[in-house]
Amino acid sequence: MTEDYNVHLEEFEGPLDLLLYLIKKDEVDIYDIPIEKITSQYLEYLELMKMLDLNVAGEFLVMASTLMYIKSMLLLPPEERPPEEDIDETDPRADLVRQLLEYKKFKELAEQLQKKERQREDIFTRVASVELKDEGSGDISDVGIFDLISAFSEVLNVAGEEDLREIFEDRFTVTDKLSHITEILKNKKSVKFLDLFDPGSHKGEIVVTFLALLELIRLKTIKAIQKKSFDNISIELVESI
């Protein structure tokens, strides 16, 4: 069912993005990460991603074991922890925090570059630039993959408590849903993410709808937008020529 539409998460985001996402979502201090809580949330997302057959990269699993290792280290009294080299703190979270901060720095630099990219869209050289665009008013950000997964887990909660790893029937195919979603969006300009899922529909259908959405986002046929972080997500057609 999902074979042809195996979404490569690499094209979206990685384990560090997920961790930063969870840290921001829970508004926890990056210098004092509640490892136990974050680890269990991380593992939940991993489960969801696996269930969606998102082709979870090995890096996500490596990070999971790193988190669990840190968790176990924190259970030991400080003097029994193996001595760390090069770090003047004995906190087992130190390396991870440093990696997160370093990555966060580049994420912010990337945002600065993105601002410059947008500014350039208002400038034309003598031979008209082909890279034109037409975008509505600002203050709307593109939605990250984890926002989508969060929204998706809400849908699943509504759908009931069946085993998430059940084998889905082949009644709904990603291809069907691809055209279904595109049809809806041709008629309406914008649709709320949650409205694309019928309440009470079969879980297989929900998963297929979600995969179709990811595929459409990857193909840049649609875009997911959010007015502010953790707000409701809406889906729009990317206007083509």
Partner 1 sequence: MSGENLKNVIEALLFSSSKPLGIPEIVKVLSVDKNGSRSEIKKAIENLNSEYNESGKSFFIENIAGGYRMITKPEYAEYIKILYQVQPSRLSKPSLETLAIVAYRQPIIKADIEAIRGVNVDGIVKTLLEKDFIKISGRKDVPGRPFLLATTNKFLEYFGLKDLNELPKISELRQFSIVK
Q: In whole angstroms, how far apart are CA 87 and each of 65, 67, 92?
A: 21, 18, 10
The count of residues interacting with partner 1 (CB under 8 A) is 53
Cα dihedral sign, 120-122-128-134: positive
Task: Give the span between the Cα atoms of 73 and 93, in whole angstroms.
Answer: 9
- Residue closer to partner 1 by CB (options 206, 217) is 217
**Which residues between 70 and 129 bind partner 1 (CB under 8 A)?**
88-89, 98-99, 101-114, 116-117, 119-128
Q: Does residue 195 touch partner 1 according to CB under 8 A?
A: no
| Binding segment toward partner 1, per CB under 8 A, in 133-141, 158-166, 187-195, 198-206 | 133-141
Q: What amino acid is encoded at 13 in this protein? A: E
Helices 145-159, 15-25: inter-axial angle, 10-degree rounding: 70
Are 218 and 7 in contact, with CB atoms under 8 Å apart? yes
Buried b (16+ CB within 10 A) or exposed e, 155-194: bbeebeeeeeeeebeeebebeebbeebeeebeeeeebebe
- In the bound complex, what is the minimum distance in angstroms from residue 9's beta carbon to partner 1? 8
- In the bound complex, what is the minimum distance in angstroms from residue 202's beta carbon to partner 1? 32
- In the bound complex, what is the minimum distance in angstroms from residue 110's beta carbon to partner 1? 4
Q: Does residue 12 touch partner 1 according to CB under 8 A?
A: yes
- Residue closer to partner 1 by CB (options 37, 105) is 105
Binding site for partner 1 (CB under 8 A): 8, 10-16, 57, 59, 63, 88-89, 98-99, 101-114, 116-117, 119-128, 130-135, 142, 144, 238-241
